[in-house]
Structure 1
Amino acid sequence: MKNSVLLLLIATLLFSCSEEILPKPKPYLKLQYPIARYKKIETNCPYNFEISTLATVNYKNNCWLEIDYPPLKATIYITYRKVDNNLDEILREVDKLTYKHAVKADVIPDAKTFEYLDKKVFGKVNNVEGNVASNIQFSVTDSVKHVLSGSLYFYTKPNYDSIIPAIKYLEKDIMHLVETLEWK
Structure 2
Amino acid sequence: MSKKIMGLLAVFSLLVFAISCKDEVLPKPSSQLRLDYPVAQYVHYSGHCPFEFDMNEEAVIKEDKNCGFSIHYPKMKATIYLTYKTVNSNINVLLRDAQKLTYEHVIKADDILEQPYVNSDKKVYGMFYRVNGNAATNGQFYATDSIQHFVTGSVYFYAKPKYDSIMPAASYVKDDMQRLMETIKWTRGR
Normalising by structure 2, what TM-score?
0.82
Pair 1:150 & 2:167 matched:
no
Cα-to-partner distance string for 1:157-182 (whole Å, 9 max, x where unaligned): 10000111111111221121122211
Pair 1:48 & 2:68 matched:
no
Aligned to 1:61: 65
Aligned to 1:182: 185
1:108-147 maps to which residues of 2 (within 5 A)?
108-109=112-113, 111-147=114-150
Deviation, structure 1 residue 23: 4.8
State the secondary structure of the residue aligned to 2:88.
Answer: coil
Pick which of 30-39 and 20-29 moved more: 20-29
Q: Which structure 2 segments of 5+ residues have no match?
A: 1-23
Pair 1:71 & 2:102 matched:
no
RMSD: 1.6
State which structure, 1 or 2, has the greater radius of gyration over its C-alpha atoms.
2
Query: How far apart in 1 are the matches of 2:85 and 2:64?
Result: 13
Query: How far apart in 2 are the matches of 1:22 and 1:147?
Result: 59
Letter in 2 for 1:163: I
* Sequence identity (%): 45
Q: Which structure 1 segments of 5+ residues have no match?
A: 1-19
Count of residues in correspondence between the two structures: 165
8 Å Cα contact 2:126-2:143 kept in structure 1:
yes
Deviation, structure 1 residue 25: 3.0
* 1:92 paired residue among 80, 92, 96: 96
Aligned to 2:30: 26
